[in-house]
Structure 1
Amino acid sequence: MIIPDEAERSYAPGMRFKVQQRVLVAGKERRPVTPLFSQVAEEFSLQPEILHAIAAYESGYNPWALNIEGRSVYPKTREEALKIIEKNRGRSFDVGLMQVNSYWIDKFGLSVKDALEPEENLRLGAWILRYCLDRYGYNWKAVGAYHTGSPKNLPERSRAYAVEVMNRYRDLLAESGNGK
């Protein structure tokens, strides 16, 4: 496990296979595994809707999605994703559901292989978001910092990212009834 977790994780290990083997529905839209998002959100004192908003925006729930220095790549398998990452070592890249940046992977001495595991990627993304919220406050600057590392880095890009995620988040809150 990348991020230490509580002993009481009754369904997460069983969800790993379901997360990795995404079900494609009509129109090839990916379906998230809602209990896993809810569990991880609870672990990090977040609303599941914010994790869904980030995963939907960042990867479209594609667990193998990559971004290599601004170029999106959608491998069909985990193995293919790992080969692409290895080929592009030394470059900045984002991986997985939450598009975790190589900065975080390197900073904490994590393995790319582990960071690409969908459950761990979701947990790592939640940890990064929690870190940004704790550091910058419970506001949209923190959400922008998830994307750029700091609200001061690329402020226009950070703000645009926060607006996109905020719009998805509000829609999801309204759908779930939590936004009343």
Structure 2
Amino acid sequence: MSRPSHADCFDDAATYHHVNADVLRAIAWEESNNRPDARRTNTNGSVDYGLMQINSVHLEALARFGIGTDDLMVPCKSVYIAAWHLQRQMAKYGNTWAAIGAYHSATPALRDAYATRIAAKLNAIRDARENRR
């Protein structure tokens, strides 16, 4: 798996928000297949934007920081926003798989399934890194 050109944003955002950079990388892989221009309309009418597929339900909270939908399509901003969102879930659930799953959904079944997918991607990222050594 090659690292996207915005790879350093993962490390910087993770450090700033005190989350794991590889978890952010796994989320980007799961959410958009590392595509910064990804956009998806969900069945409930909400929209996921950008590399990290930030959901429109967060727009009101993000607006307080001057962040709008155009910002969500900027890869590095998307990663920082995702790190902020993940950190909020960690504040609620602790440093757990539930927090990682809650990045996607608070519904337990969806949350747990998402966490399982992220765990698999995280293992693949770590395996790829080990194979490069």
Report the equivalent of 2:121: 168
Counterpart check, 1:32 vs 2:33? no
Report the equivalent of 1:43: 16
SS of 2:48's equivalent in the other structure is strand
Report the equivalent of 2:110: 157
Q: Deviations over 1:43-78 (max 9, x none)?
A: 1122221111000110011011111014xxxxxxxx
- For structure 1, the residue ranges without an aligned partner over 5 or more in a row are 1-28, 71-89
SS of 2:104's equivalent in the other structure is helix
Sequence identity (%): 29
SS of 2:40's equivalent in the other structure is strand
1:30/1:63 Cα in 2 relative to 1: closer, same or farther (>3 Å)? farther
Report the equivalent of 2:96: 139
- For structure 2, the residue ranges without an aligned partner over 5 or more in a row are none
Greater share of helix = 2
**2: CA distance, partners of 1:113 / 1:35:** 21
- Alignment of structure 1 residues 1-180 onto 2, 5 Å: 31-33=3-5, 34-70=7-43, 91-109=45-63, 110-148=67-105, 150=106, 153=107, 155-177=108-130
Q: How many residues align?
A: 126
Greater C-alpha radius of gyration: 1
Contact 2:89/2:102 (<8 A) preserved? yes
Q: Give the TM-score, by structure 1 length.
A: 0.64
Contact 1:53/1:165 (<8 A) preserved? yes
Contact 1:30/1:62 (<8 A) preserved? no
Which letter maps to 1:134?
Answer: A
**1: CA distance, partners of 2:104 / 2:111:** 7
**1: CA distance, partners of 2:91 / 2:127:** 25
Contact 2:40/2:47 (<8 A) preserved? yes
**2: CA distance, partners of 1:135 / 1:114:** 25
Q: Deviations over 1:5-38 (max 9, x none)?
A: xxxxxxxxxxxxxxxxxxxxxxxx8741322211
Report the equivalent of 1:4: none
